[in-house]
A and B are shown apart, each in its own frame.
Chain A
Amino acid sequence: MSDQHLLKSSTKDSDPAIFSETYSLVLLEKVKSERVKQALTQWIEEIRDWTSAKAYFVGHIKVFVEGQENLWLSSTGRSISSKQSQGWSEWSLGSATLFVTIIVFGTTKEALKETAEESLKTCFNTSLPNIINGF
Chain B
Amino acid sequence: MNILLFGGFLGSGKTSIILQVARYLTAELSVQQLDSGKPSLVIVENEVGETGIDDKILKAEGLNVRELIAGCICCTLNAELTVCLNKIQEELSPEWVIIETTGMAFPHTIAETITKYGKGIDSLKTIVVADAERWDDLSTIMPGLIEEQIARANVILLNKIDCLEPEQVSQVAEDIKRINSSGLFYAISAHTEVNPQIWRKAVTKGE
Residues of A within 8 A of B (CB): 4, 7-8, 11, 15-16, 18-22, 57-60, 62-64, 66, 70, 72, 74-76, 78-79, 81, 83, 85, 99-101, 103, 105
Contacts and interface: CB of A to CB of B under 8 A. Distances in A.
B133 interface: yes
Interface stretch (B26-34, B36-44, B78-86, B134-142): B134-142
Contact of A20 (B49, B57, B103, B191): B49
A76 B134 contact: yes
27 contacts: A7-B137, A15-B72, A15-B73, A15-B74, A21-B50, A21-B51, A22-B50, A22-B51, A57-B137, A58-B11, A59-B11, A59-B103, A60-B10, A63-B53, A64-B53, A64-B56, A66-B56, A66-B60, A70-B56, A76-B11, A78-B163, A79-B163, A99-B52, A100-B51, A101-B51, A103-B10, A103-B73
B50 A20 contact: yes
Nearest to A7: B141
A18 B11 contact: no
Among B10, B73, B131, residue most surrounded by chain A Cβ atoms (within 10 Å): B10
Nearest to B12: A76
Given A76-B133, A76-B134, 10 more contacts: A21-B51, A22-B51, A59-B9, A59-B103, A76-B11, A99-B52, A99-B56, A101-B51, A101-B53, A103-B49
A63 B141 CA distance: 25
A103 B48 CA distance: 9
Interface string B112-153: 000000000000000000010110010011100000000000
